[in-house]
Structures are given as C-alpha cells and as structure tokens.
Structure 1
Amino acid sequence: MLAVDFGASSGRTILGRWDGTKLTVEDIHRFSNDPVQLGESLHWDFLRLFHELKKGIHAYKQHASGSPSSIAVDTWGVDYGFVNGKGKLLGNPYHYRDERNAIAMDQLLTVLPNMELYRRTGIQPLSFNTIFQLYAEVKDKALAFDEDTRLLFMPDLFRFYLSGVRSTEYTIASTSGLLNPLARDWDGELLNKIGVSSDLLTPLVMPGTKEGVLRPEIAEELHIAAMPIVAAASHDTASAVVSIPSLQGDYAFISCGTWSLMGVELEEPIINENSRRWGFTNEGGAEHRIRMLKNIMGLWLLQACKRHWEFEGETLSFAEMQEMAKREKGLACYVDPEDPVFLAPGNMPKRIRLYCSQSGQHVPQTKAELIRCVVDSLAMKFKQSLDEIEGLVDRDLACIHMVGGGIQNKLLCQLTANATGRTVIAGPVEATAIGNVMMQAKAHGEVQSLAQIRQAVMDSFPPESYEPEDCAQWQEAYVTYRQVIDKKSVRS
C-alpha cells in the first residue's frame, strides 16, 4: 500500500507492507513543499505537488513488483481548492498563512462572537480556520461559481484527481470550523450565517473507506494497473494518532512536527469556557472519536530560524542545531510558541529576540542560545498544556506519547519529560504514514479495529522511553516561564 503524506513543509511517499502480523514501511520518494508568494497572496503549488504524487507512484516500480493494493493521501488541515463540474481546478489553493485570513477573522467575529462560534463547532477560532478563509472569499465576492462547483479539502482534492470521486473525509472536515461536532456533520445553519451555500460541500465519508479507483489515464501514464483509492484518516494528525502504540487510555499525545498537536482522545467533545479560554479544539478521529487538542507552533520556529540562516548564507542541519542546543546551559529565556507574532514567515531570530527583550528577559544572541530558547519553551508549553488537559478531563494522565518526525529531536523528548514530570514514550517517527497505511489495511478488511491497528504498531515499531530528570529545577523554572508569558500576554 502507498501512503502519500503531505506536510506543511515537505512530503513523502511511503510503501507499506503488511504480512498480517507486522508492518514495514519504506520511504520511496521525498520532496519539499514550499508556499509560493504570488502578488499579495500566498498559495500552495498544487500542480507541482500532484506531479510529486505521481512521481511517488512511479517510484513504487523501483521497489516492488506488480501494482499497489491501494493508495491514500493525507495532508495538513483547513486548506482547500475548488473544482467545477467539468473537473477543472479553479486556481491554486490559498495557504493558511495568507494575510487575508486574519482580517476575515476579525470581521466575522463581529457577526458571530467567539464563544458562539466555539460552542457551535468545538473548534478554537484561529485565523487560518477554513471558516475564516471562506468568509474572506465571501467578502471578496470570489464565490461566484457555477452550481456544479464543489469545495474539496487538500487530501480530497488529491483524491479527486486520482479517482474522479468528489467527497470529503470526516477527519479533514473536522478541522474546518464548519462541522457540528456532536452530529459529526456539516452545520448548515452556520454555513448560511457566513453566506456560503451547503451545496458547495460534498458528503462526508469515514476514514477507511474505498473511494473509487485510479483514473485510467493516470494508470496508463505511469504504466501501473488500476488500484483502489482509499480515504484514510486524511488529516495528518488524525493519521498520526491512529498509530499511537498503546491500548491504554490514560495518556496525552503530542504529534510533533511543524505544528505540535497536543491532546487526548475522547468519546465526545469537551466544549466549555475553560476549553475555549485555554485554546483547545475538538477534531474528528478514527472510529468517530474526538481528538481534543491544542495547536502549538512546534518545530515551525526552528524551521523558520533555519531558513533565515540559510538566506544569510549558513546552512545548518537539524541534527547540528540539536547538538548546539545540547551544549547550552538552558532555562535562560522563554517565548510563548502560541503567540501570533510567530505565525507568519519572516525573520524568526529577530522576533524571538524582540519577544525576550519586551518581556524583560535575557536576550539570546548566538544561534545556539536561540535554538535552546525555542526547545526549552516548547517543553514548558507542553507542561502548561498537560496541566490544562488534566483539568479538562478531571484525571491525571500517566504518560505522554510523542509521535512524528519531531521525536528525532531527542533533546526535545527529554526536556518534555523533565518539564512535565511524565515518562515520554517516543515513536513511531513515521506515525502519519503508518496510520495512513493501516487505515488502508482496515479498508481491505485486514484489520477490524483501531485497537488491532495499535497492537500492530506496538509489535512493528518498538518506541523509546524518556524518564524525567532534574524535576525540581524544571518546576522552579516553570514558575518563571509562566510569569514571563502571562505578563507578555497582558501587555499584548
């Protein structure tokens, strides 16, 4: 089975082999995913990304014989494109960091107050949410489409151009702010309130559903047989959570990458004043579960620093950056990774220094100090978020499962254990692709349940554990961290 995983900064095609007991995965194609500034707008280059998808299918032939049993695509959340009745893509999709979104959010929240919107959707109002992007389209009068035009979220858009089937997978739809979290369906009344016809959206399908077969022209182009196209858990975080190697429910999870998504799995959403005030959102998962989580600007801060230094002529690998941070003493200064000042692309080192200066802290000067500031701050934010999660679910959580590419930063894993005082269980690295592949296996009837999938992940990819160290020092430092971010928040 082929899993195509589009992240917000890179993509990959993974070949998964399932023998009925264990899974192996092989990375067969990787590529960058770079936004394109065109005039005043920021877009995704969908045409190039679809080309990379086809290159990944073609790469399969160099690694295995015959044709894959199926293919599924997962991506980041909230973004979308429009396809008309003739199957034509109506422009390149906007990037969630496009500046129009913040303006639209401010405008819509004057019509639909924050608490009302949160109560209806269970989604934390953030500028990049689909609902605000669509409202920007409404205000720009950009939705004058023919009656056959449909909105498709990014994984659904890729799936359409693979199969010709227009549908929306549940977990990706749940990131939009357009869904009723209790009914697990579109909120037609809310759509009317923002001036969007419900006809623009397509029916929802649940993860693990076969949705058509590969278009004949693509099969011919790539010299490969037709194969089923599966709607897996199409939101990358939903796929990552599928592959958490645990059968116990007393843990928090962190899906660690460009964004760090920290939360818990629930049977029903938690929507109250504390969950809203603390920034938690309720998104869909496999088997109708709810992922109550917080969006934290995780490794984005390090990625943006790395990119800025490359522009200045110095190239550092993430491994080199980790080693530099290890040699720093640490706990010298902090930023709040959720502060909106860090959302947009730009000079991230300058923003970090300015934040520290404005909050009366030591201002990091060297690259190593900047990197350590970010890693320490992420660990502290995870501690803060864990406290809030435990308050919302009214119980202590025994451990933290960290999955995704960010766990290759072993320093971050250890510091998270230190800050939270919890054992951190790290793995698998390719959590999203593994979850994608195993939901395809479920679609084929090879496994029957999420519990069976997680048992298979445990058997196939043994995780690594990190035990807390220097807890007293970190507890003392956490008090300083809270003073810094609370004071900065009041000033802002």
Structure 2
Amino acid sequence: MSDHIAFDIGASSGRLVAARMTQGRLELQEIYRFANGFTDHNGHDFWNLEYLFQEILKGLQLAKEAGINECTLGIDTWAVDYVLLDGEGNRINEVYAYRDSRTKGAPERLHQLISRENVYAKTGIQELDFNTLYQLFVHDQEELSQAEQILMVPDYLYFRLSGRYMNEVTNASTMQLLNAAERDFDEDLLTIVNVRRGQFAKLTEPGEVLGELLPELVQKYMLPRCRLIVVPTHDTASAVIGVPADAERGWAYLSSGTWSLLGVERKEPLTRLDAMKANYTNEWGAYGTYRFLKNIMGLWMIQEVRKELDSKYTFAELAAIAEGVPAFRSLVPCNAGRFLNPGSMIEEIQSCCRESGQPVPESSGEIARCIFDSLALTYRDALQELKNLTGEQVEVLYIVGGGSNNKLLSQLTADLLKIEIQAGPSEATALGNIAVQMISIGQLKDLSEARSLIARSFPTKVYLPNPLEERDKVLSLWQELKTKFKKL
C-alpha cells in the first residue's frame, strides 16, 4: 500500500495526516483536524470518546473523498487514561481525564501499602498523581469489578475499528503497572489496586498488524479499506521514532507540545534510586527501546493563557510579544502541581510570583515571557540531571512537535543549555506513527532507515548557543527562587 494514515490525537486537538513516498521523500498532507478537550460533569473531568470515534470516521470519509481508497492506518493519543468495558464491549462509564482532581493525595495513601522505592524498582515509572496506578486506586470499586476489559484510550479506538482487544506496550507502560524485568503486569501492584491480569488484554508490540477495518464500518460510512497497524500509541513514543537523529552524534530529544518530554533513547531501563529521586521515567518504546525522560509541564501553560485571552493572539504572536519584554524578570516552577489544572493560569502565575517576592507579570507579553523563560531554565535543569544520571554525552538536542516552531523558546534553550538545537519536524508524532506502519509492511527496512528518510524529507532549523548576558546572574537567581518555591 502506498498511502498511510496517522490519527494523532492530543489533549487539545486531533488530526488525520496522510503520507506517501514521492521521489525518495516522504510527503505529508493534513486532511482533517478537529478539536478535543475534557469537560466537567458533576465536578469531575471526562473525555468524550464517542465524539473522538465519530471524528475518526469523519476523517476517513474525507480521506476517501481525497482519493485514498486503501491504506494502512495507525492511532496515537495521550497516555495514562483508560476505558472500562463490560462483557459486551460497551463502556461502563465515561472516561476520566488525567487532570481530574480525584487523584489528589492518592500516591500518599497508596504508598502506605507499598513503598515508592519498591514501585519504582518494579516499573521504572516516575510518580505523577495522575498515573493509571493512582487513578485505579481511587476508582469506584463496583465499576472496577464490573469491567471485563481495561483498555487505554488508543487501544479502545483500535477496538472500535477492528473488534480486537489489545494493550499496546508504549502506552501500557505509562500505567505504572508493568514490571520492567518480567515484561508483563506486576501482580503485587494489580492486587493493591484491586484489578486482575485477566481484565487486561495481550500486551502488543508496535508493528503488529491488527487486521482490516471492520467491513460494516466500511460499508455504512463509505470508508477506504484500511489495514490497521499497531503503532506506538503513546504520542511521545511515536514522536521519538520521528526524531531525525544522527546516530553518529550523542543526542537527546525534547518532545514539545502540551507536555515537554526531555530524554534519551536507551536499550535498558535505569531504575536506580537517584533516577527515582530525580523523578525520571522509563517508558517503553518501540523496537525494544526505553524512553528515559522527564515530564515537564510544557506548553499547556501558554495554551491556557491563550484560552483565557479568548484566543486573541496566535501562539506565534504571543512569542513575538514576549520577545519584546525584558528577560528573566519573573519565573515560576513549571512542574508545580498548582499549574496542573488551575481555575486561572494567569492568576496562578501571578500569585506564584507575588508569593516568591518577584515582579508580578501583568501584560500578555510579560506572562508569556515568564512561561518561556521558566521552561527554558527547567529544560536546563533536566538536561543536566539527565547527563549526570546516564553518563552520556549530549552534543545536540532535537526539539520536535509543535513547540519546535517557537523560535524564542528554541533560542533561549540553546543559550541556557549551551548546546546545539535542531528544531523540527513539528509533525514528528505523525511521522513516527507512519514510519512504524511503513516498517511493518516492509516499505522501510528498520528504524535507522526511517529516521534517515525523515531527516531527508523534513530539514531541521539549527539554533546555536549565543552568549547570554548575565547568564551566571540568571542561574544564581533561579537557584534562589527554587528554594523559595519549595516553601510555597
């Protein structure tokens, strides 16, 4: 098959991207884009999965109208959120969004039953309040007992298209329930959250052919014939496949979107105590790899600010306005829980600055500048930790995803980290999704050939570090503020 379709669905939007090889290069075409987001119902935040499924069908109809009659198809989404199904394959309830407040305090309660050190030694997954482990721990026990299947969000969407159950490994690993040594669900952790191994499907590796699109869907909605291929369903896992890395140089990646994920690709997990204390994670990747990375709050903060400003500015305009504002005037701890889902991101940023004795950002440009400066400093801390933990030399940092288009943030990162930045492609997630499809059907030989194709097809923008005036003073201020932030 010469046509390949990636459904890349994030927390704020989703899209259907089609790809085809033309004269030795990969060409992408965005056929359909749709909004996404969780909604509040009775004080809790839920995703609308039926809406997402209908948007997938609509996208496939548009693909056929665009001339795609048969193709391969892969789906990636965000991580950690799950779907409970009864014996008939019907959802038992709507799907909680990971930013829902129900898991507040859950880690502390769960770790009275098993230590943090034990959980990390088993799973290698960092502690985040919204990990599936903690979500299941606080889930209604009656609902859990009724569930015949527990699927992650992309697994469920594949099920609706194919009729087949699976738990794809890159997303399943984010549940904090998989034992890295045994490569399966950990029985001790399953017992603690009161679920059974039989409620989960077979662990499935990226590249497996799941089968054809259900004939009844093809006929009812007049869809193209699609061969469903299991891709890295965690969007970060697909994005890392899409990094156009030069294997001859030491490299790290920064997948920059709603979240910023900074890490390296490894063949073995790193589950030492110092890695746990630094809150690094070992998420499973495609082809036997591990993504040793740190989660950073990311562009969620500027997305929320833009929403509060009634989308008056584009993201590019906010970055341009921020560039005209004095640098490092106000800074915030991006990864603090207060920024996970505040009622007002602007007010939360202002309160944090006020409480820590800093100038309070008032204008749109000052608030945006505060976010970008704080993110770049957080990236610097994370990269230094990463190098200390792994002992690896990093010569170049690849920034992929939508954040790679932010020139101000990319240059700030180069300056503060004193490292070469290669920014792009912005569509790394869709490209990684598609690359696995192409490897699966033999159109590409392996991951190395896929990355070479991506590098050839989508040149990166290079940012070299410039001398940063008063850099030492800025870093000293940042250290002082981090001490203050811990006390807030």
Length-normalised TM-score, structure 1: 0.96
**Given residue 355 of structure 1, which amino acid in structure 2 is its aligned partner?**
C
Deviation readout 1:344-395 (Å, 9 max, x if unpaired): 1420111111111111212111111110000000000000001000001113
Gaps of 5+ in 2: none
> Is contact 1:304–1:346 with CA below 8 Å preserved after alignment?
no
Q: Residues 143 and 378 (structure 1 numbering): CA distance in 2 closer, same or farther, change over 3 Å? A: same
Aligned residue number for residue 388 of structure 1: 385
Partner of 2:237: 238
Gap change, CA 1:184 and 1:476, over 3 Å in 2 = farther
- Partners of 1:330 and 1:439 lie apart in 2 by 41
C-alpha distance in 2 between matches for 1:195 and 1:212: 32
The alpha carbon displacement at 1:273 in A equals: 2.1
Structure 1, 149-158 or 473-482: larger mean CA deviation: 473-482
2:191 is aligned to: 192
Aligned to 2:395: 398
- State the alpha-carbon separation in 2 of the partners of residues 271 and 255 from structure 1: 22
Partner AA of 2:255 in structure 1: S
The residue number in structure 2 matching 1:423 is: 420
On the 8 A contact 1:20/1:446 being kept in 2, the answer is: no
Q: Distance in 1 between matches of 2:163 and 2:232?
A: 19
User: For residues 254-273 of structure 1, what are the alpha-carbon distances to aligned partners after superposition, in whole Å with 9 as ceiling and x for unaligned?
Assistant: 00000000011111111122
Q: Distance in 1 between matches of 2:187 and 2:21?
A: 41
**Which amino acid in structure 1 is aligned with residue 363 of structure 2?**
T
8 Å contact 1:42–1:95 — kept in the other structure? yes
| TM alignment of 1:183-262, pairs within 5 A | 183-248=182-247, 250-262=250-262
Partner residue, 1:56:
59
Residue type at the aligned position of 1:378: L
Q: What are the equivalent positions in structure 2 for 1:6-155 lying under 5 Å apart?
A: 6-19=9-22, 21-67=24-70, 69-137=71-139, 140-145=141-146, 149-155=148-154
- Cα gap change, 1:20 to 1:270, in 2 (>3 Å): farther
CA displacement at 1:275 relative to structure 2: 1.1
- Secondary structure of 2:74 counterpart: strand
Contact 2:84 2:144 in 1 (8 A): no
Stretch deviating more after TM superposition (242-251 or 280-289): 242-251
Report the Cα offset of residue 447 of structure 1.
1.3
Matched residue, 2:411: 414
Contact 2:405 2:424 in 1 (8 A): no
Quote how far apart the aligned CAs of 1:62 are: 3.1
Shift of 1:316: 1.7
Which amino acid is the alignment partner of residue 242 of structure 1? I
User: Which residue identity does 1:487 align to in structure 2?
Assistant: K
| Structure 2 letter corresponding to 1:176 | M
**CA distance in 1: counterparts of 2:125 and 2:363, whole angstroms:** 38
Deviation at 1:483, TM superposition (A): 1.6
Q: Report the residue type matching 2:441 in the other structure.
A: H
Aligned to 2:174: 175
Higher deviation after alignment, 470-479 or 158-167? 470-479
| Paired residues, number | 484
Question: Can you list the C-alpha shifts for 1:290-342, whole angstroms capped at 9, x where unaligned?
Answer: 100011010000011111222xxx62211211111011121112111111110
Q: Which moved more, 1:179-188 or 1:259-268?
A: 179-188
Judge which range, 97-106 or 226-235, deviates more. 97-106
1:297 maps to 297
Structure 1 distance, partners of 2:423, 2:472, is 22
Alignment correspondent of 1:308: 308
Structure 1 residue 20, shift from structure 2 partner: 8.0
Tell me if structure 2 keeps the 8 A contact 1:164–1:212. Answer: no
Answer yes or no: is 1:341 the counterpart of 2:335: no
Percent of residue pairs identical: 35
Q: Deviations over 1:436-467 (max 9, x none)?
A: 01111111111121111111111111111001
Q: How does 1:457-468 map to 2 (within 5 A)?
A: 457-468=454-465
Give 5+ residue unaligned stretches, structure 1.
none
Query: How far apart are 1:143 and its partner, in Å?
Result: 1.1
Equivalent position to 2:433, from 417, 430, 436: 436
- Give the partner amino acid of 2:263: G
Work out the CA distance in 1 between the residues paired with 2:275 and 2:116: 13
Per the alignment, residue 374 of structure 1 pairs with 371
Q: Which residue of 2 aligns with 1:274?
A: 274
TM-score, normalised via structure 2 length: 0.96
Counterpart AA for 1:37:
D
Question: Which piece of structure 1 moves more, 251-260 or 185-194?
Answer: 185-194
- What value does the CA root-mean-square deviation take over the aligned residues? 1.5
Deviations 1:189-208 (A, max 9, x none): 32123221111111111111
Moved segments of 4+, more than 6 Å? none
Distance 2:197 2:469 in 1: 54
Q: Which amino acid aligns with 2:180?
A: P
State how far apart, in whole Å, the 1-side matches of 2:19 and 2:170 are: 22
